Amino acid sequence: MKSFKTLRIVITIVDVVCLLAVLFVPALEAAKHNFFVWLILGLLTLYVLFMWMVLGRRNTNGYDAESDREADISKELLSQRNKWYW
């Protein structure tokens, strides 16, 4: 999971650096007027936004090991209760 966070941060930094380079580096003046450069940078920016919005969500349901144990106990009790009806 840590590698995904690292990858997300690296791709974000690459995206920001590329956008700033195209806008402010004089050697890349021709790239500023090229449609395909902006298309690739736009797709990269959309991908970065997607990664931050969808993959960056945290689990806020309160699921933890304690609730998992309680669910297992409830499942076991229900299975024992249902044994008597068969």
pLDDT tens per residue across span 23-81: 999 998 999 999 999 999 999 999 999 988 887 666 556 666 777 788 888 888 888 87
Q: What is the pLDDT of residue 46?
A: 95
Q: What is the pLDDT of residue 77?
A: 84
Task: Tell me the torsion sign for CA atoms 70, 71, 74, 76.
Answer: negative
Residue with tokens 């299975």: 79
Enumerate the domain spans of the chain. Answer: 1-58
pLDDT band, residue 21 (cuts 50/70/90): very high
On the question of pLDDT at 86 being above 60, the answer is no
Q: What is the pLDDT of residue 19?
A: 92
27: which DSSP letter? G
pTM: 0.59
Q: Which residue has the higher pLDDT, 22 or 68?
A: 22
